[in-house]
A and B are shown apart, each in its own frame.
Chain A
Amino acid sequence: MQLSRDQLRAAYQRMCLIRNFEDSLHEEFSAGNIPGFVHLYAGEEASGVGVCMHLDDRDAIASTHRGHGHCIAKGCDPRAMMLEIFGKKDGLCGGKGGSMHIADLSKGMMGANGIVGGGPPLVCGAALTAKTLKTGGVAIAFVGDGASNQGTTFESYNLAKVWNLPAVFVVEDNRYAESTASAWSVGGNQVDRAKGFGMPAQEVDGHDFFAVWEAARQAIERARAGEGPSLLHVKLNRYYGHFEGDAITYKGEGEIEQVKTEKDALMLFKQRVTETKLLDSEELTVIEEEAKAAIADCLASAKAGALPTEADLMTDVYVDYKF
């Protein structure tokens, strides 16, 4: 299978949008403009985009607390996302969810999640819907290395397997859960764990968009074909702290810089497509500039956006019951 030039442009555009989105949030948080917990996805772009390039609106993903990248990869509107993160009324969730609960079900984005391990069972549900209603859809659970140790995750592996659900578990192993290394916290390894449940599984270099894309293609095709769940162990790194405000003293000296200079996902993508002459560097630069401008524009909208008001506090608790 090959990616078309348009697909490559679209992939690079989404990765650039994510990178700019996260970098600007990092700045805004440092400046004290963003309240609450903000977990950034910078450095992990190839994973979310590599997987979601295979998906359309029939398909569902469940994300994690580190959800902005998954949202953008799945097609959520960055402007509405930015408004949401700033707590504004026109945000994707009306300002009620914020960074940790950003969602757009119309795009098959089932939400970032404040509960580690909250997503995998939900994905079994989305996969069950697709299977029952025969939509042809698949469901993808993004799972951190930390979340891979939750009981809910293991239970979901088993349920997806025994019900033969069209699901894929993407374990994004960015080497740390908060300050704890996955090298310590994960007993056994992700691929063997999956095999223990009878699921096909493979390890993937998460800095390499093309590797993720290819591995995801196989897993998603298998699911669509009714052949059941599988798992990808995607190995990558995050550039910022666990959340904004984290001093990151647990990482090795120069650890992040080394990844940035040697394995940056955007850099590797660019090298590959220019070396193979699939895209030229001018058009990539245009994409980069456009992404930058687009996010700057989102940011301006978010800052200018109106706040929700008292009238919004009690709406949407139920569909039809007013307390």
Chain B
Amino acid sequence: MSDIRPIVMPKWGLAMIEGTVVEWQVEEGAEVAAGQDIMEIETSKITNVFESPVEGPLRKIVVAAGETVPVGALLAVCAPASVGDDEVEAYVKDFLDNFDWDAAAGGGGPAPETIEVGSKRMRFLKQGDGGGTPVILIHGFGGDCLGWLFNQEALAEGRTTYALDLPGHGGSDKDVGAGKLGVMVQAVLAFMDDRGIAKAHLVGHSMGGAIALALAAEHAERVASATLLAPAGLGREINMTFINGFIEQKRSRKLRPILELLVADPGTITNDMVEEVIKFKRLDGAVEALTKLRDGLFPGGEQEGFPADLLAGLSVPVQAIWGEEDQILPAAHAAVLPDSVKVSKLPATGHLPHMERASEVNAAILAFLA
């Protein structure tokens, strides 16, 4: 029995309670490798490829394309040829008989917390409870702590992770001061002070990448390492069609093409994702905050960019990961990074490598933390 390895419906983000198998990309009997794309799964929030967590011959597909099942439900089993068909059948029957469908459909799991940091409301999602240096995940312009749905759980194994809502974003206070990067940098430091975090591994995406980079350069003593995902601040160019559209478009039909700029495959963007952004922008002060940040960070439609000496003086380990088809911040910006920074460029990937290529990005981060 122990050779039989289940493949179950993953949990992508807090809100996910069920998923639909859109299509199987492998057939029964095929040999699958761990990390291989084996199917496409659709949740109410996002559609994404699912990479096999196990390896071996795919002996049985339990959930056919088109079916919807709760998180944790058995999708398929892998087992070596030495395991008999009857054993596989028995395993599947046993799993199905013992699976708690009601509990699975109920959801549960961690929920974001809201605290006061220096009289400002700050929301974050904590996952994992390990010792050692914690990981802080910093989202980009318009994002929030829930955007790490494919990453945080993987990173939280044996480690404490915090995903933040930056000022002006998610459930945090909408006051962004003058809308400069420094306000964000100070907010992350204040959060670390409040939580008693002396030092952390930082993972920052886009604007969050610039924040992580600034922290690594100016507060090296607080930073164990920094992983920059499609970071801002490394060149002047930024797609202002995206930034302006993100701020201005209030209706899903108009906002959708803007959000599609984020990814290499537009099919990734679901209705719910668009709805979530619209709902965020309706919060009191949200659009004002985004507008201030746009004017503060990209005056005249260009990024200010970090000075070269700041990059040259980096003393903590830094890596950068970029999608080759990034339409927001071109991957070519990586050229200004010093040689000490490891740069990975992912093919057929847009501005959201941590979503579009989750397991590769997770593996790269985990390797960097080790």
Is there a contact between chains A and B in the complex with CB atoms less than 8 Å apart? Answer: no
